[in-house]
Structure formats: C-alpha cells, structure tokens
Amino acid sequence: MSTTHPMAPAFSALTETQLHTIEDLLANDESSSDEELIEFFISEGIPEVSARQALTYRDRYLTTIYLDGHTPIRLERDAWRYDPYSRRFVPA
C-alpha cells in the first residue's frame, strides 16, 4: 500500500484551476519559452516562485503521460506514468 506524499510547498496553496493550467501547459506547450510560460502563469495569479518551480518539471511533462491526479507536481513520489508496453499506468 502506497502512502501519498504531499505536494511541494510551492504548489500546495494553488487552486485546482491553477494546477490544471500549469500541468496542461507543461504537457502541451512545446513552443513557448520558459520566460513566456512564467509570464503567463503569473498573469493567471500563480506566484512567481511557483511558476519557476513548475518549469523544473517541464521536460518530464513533455515526454511522459501521467495519470490524472497522480502527477509529479501533485504527488512527487507517487506519480503514475503510462507504460506503452504494458498499456497501463505504472508507478513513475
């Protein structure tokens, strides 16, 4: 049985909408620069510290499909990724 680990302090005060925005852009926006993403996150009310911390996850989100709600930002040590060989989600 796995125990959940709380999210990093930089993300714990964010709303569900803000977390979704961060994860959506990290997973899907390949063309914006890091600074453009930071500016956008800040314009959405996300603190700069959280925006900069989110970018440290960018490569992971661009290359891996995570189970909704079990992502590195939400559950760092209990993230689940899609394994194309077994065609199911497995611990990351």
Token match 């992502």: residue? Answer: 71
* Alpha carbon of residue 80 to chain centroid: 12
pLDDT digits (tens, 9 = 90+) for 20-75: 999 999 999 999 999 999 999 999 999 999 999 999 999 999 999 999 989 999 98
At residue 76 the predicted structure's pLDDT band, cuts being 50, 70 and 90, is confident
Is residue 1 predicted with pLDDT exceeding 50?
no
Q: What's the pLDDT band for 5 if we cut at 50, 70, 90? A: low
Q: Give the pLDDT band (50/70/90) at residue 4.
A: low
Is the pTM for the entire model greater than 0.95? no
Cα-based distances in Å from 51 to 9, 17, 26, 29, 40: 12, 14, 11, 15, 9
- The DSSP result for 71-85, as a single string, is STTT-GGG-EEEETT
